Amino acid sequence: MKPIRSKTVLIRRKFLDSWFISRAGMNLYRGCVHDCLYCDGRSETYRVEGDFDRDAVYKENAVDVLARELDPRRRRKPFNPGYVFIGGGVSDSWQPAEKELKLTRRVLELFKIFPYPLLLLTKSSLILRDIDLLTALNAECRVTVAVSLSTVDERLSAILEPVASPPAERLEVVRKAKEAGLGAGVMLLPVVPMITDRPELLDASYTAAGEAGADFVAAGPMTLKQGRQWNHFMAGIEEHFPEAAAAYGKVYGAVPDRWGNPSSSYYEYFGPLVHEIASRHGLPRRIPARLFPDNLSEAERAMVILDQMGGLCRERGLTSTFGWAARSLSRLDVPLESPEGWKNLRMLGGVGSATERIIKEILDTGCSRSYERLLVGGNLSG
Ligand code: SF4
């Protein structure tokens, strides 16, 4: 694996997202030898040059650059990232080269000096090498470990994710992280249409995650963008699952969307199915409020909860204005807990009397009973 030098490492976004509760993250590597068949890091959208799995590179100066970027004395404005997210995107931070390079480990060491909350996502059990360090960091600032799975079926996983750790090893990461006192869960991302989305396979993933002690299981279908990702994926499908190949044109190709989302009719299948299975297992379907990073303001906490509620309603085919209210809250430029913030709340888009009550409950108690019910597959009202 070749080294590169990078001027910046931290990627900052304007808005917190409610899946990863983060507005800052990083790719310490670019490209990934895990070679997952469905990986969307291959897409031209992310501008990774060369062969995605053969020409992966690492940012050899990442520790020095990040030390500057994280240092509060070098900032004019306060830096409030929610979780700093390490993982996903265009690389896995614990891919095999990390064993010798120890780049991710050296980056984690920096968080002893700058104790921001961390959310880590990987498909590799190599992260267990760092469990001592993560346990020490968790004593200073919240650390949550998530493993991503497409299925617990070892045979399918070996085709779809040939170099990643087997699913059982990834679930062992969840178990060990929980034993170490960390937050830990499963991102069932991506569920691959026609291959890992059969009810019995999804059910097996939820069962295994529950047995491992996962705090949450967040599931979503594969995105498939036209271009390199599509070509690579379809070549693999033609080789291993030729009987499924024709269906991808209908699910993704009929009206290709820039982000590669499946068609709305696929969501009509996927949403209720996941809802039914998740409800049966009673596992939170997003990172739950008790694992939110402590650095969120009250408005941000309310915003994330409402956005999660909007997403959960959408998946069940229910209409709601929660997502709209969340976006409005994210633009509120006075503290929500101030009299002016409260007065403005009534005028925000998407905030009717029911949503206002939910926001007030979040301000008073840090959470909402409607949210907690929805999160595990229940109804909005008790
Ligand atoms: S582990 Fe993640 S980044 Fe690496 S190939 Fe698989 S999906 Fe892509």
Q: Is residue 381 part of a domain?
A: no
pLDDT at 259: 86
Residue 129 scores a pLDDT above 70: yes
Among protein residues, the one whose CA lies closest to atom 8 of ligand 1: 39
Bridge partners, 145 (sequence order):
120, 184
Mean pLDDT of the chain: 93
Find the domain containing 186 and state its range. 2-288
Residue 207 scores a pLDDT above 70: yes
Q: What is the DSSP string of 16-35?
A: EETTTTEEEEE-SEES-TT-
Contact 38, 233 (CB under 8 A): yes
209 lies in the same domain as 315: no
C-alpha 91 – ligand 1 centre gap (Å): 6
C-alpha 342 – ligand 1 centre gap (Å): 43
Least confident segment among 7-16, 128-137, 238-247, 329-338: 329-338
pLDDT at 198: 96
Look up the CATH number of the domain holding residue 235: 3.20.20.70
254 lies in the same domain as 339: no
Among protein residues, the one whose CA lies closest to atom 3 of ligand 1: 91
Q: Is residue 312 part of a domain?
A: yes
Confidence of residue 316 (pLDDT cuts 50, 70, 90): confident
334 lies in the same domain as 278: no
Residue 253 scores a pLDDT above 80: no
Bridge partners, 191 (sequence order):
221
- Pocket around ligand 1 at a 6 A CB cut-off: 32, 34-36, 39, 41, 91-92, 123, 164
List, for residues 97-114, the tens digit of each pLDDT value.
999 999 999 999 999 999
Q: Is residue 111 part of a domain?
A: yes
Query: DSSP character for 82?
Result: B
Q: What is the arithmetic mean of pLDDT over 356-377?
A: 93
List, for residues 44-98, the tens digit of each pLDDT value.
888 878 888 888 999 999 999 999 999 988 888 888 899 999 987 899 999 999 9
Look up the CATH number of the domain holding residue 337: 1.10.150.110
pLDDT at 339: 78
Q: Which candidate, 141, 263, 156, 259, places its Cα nearest to that of 200?
A: 156
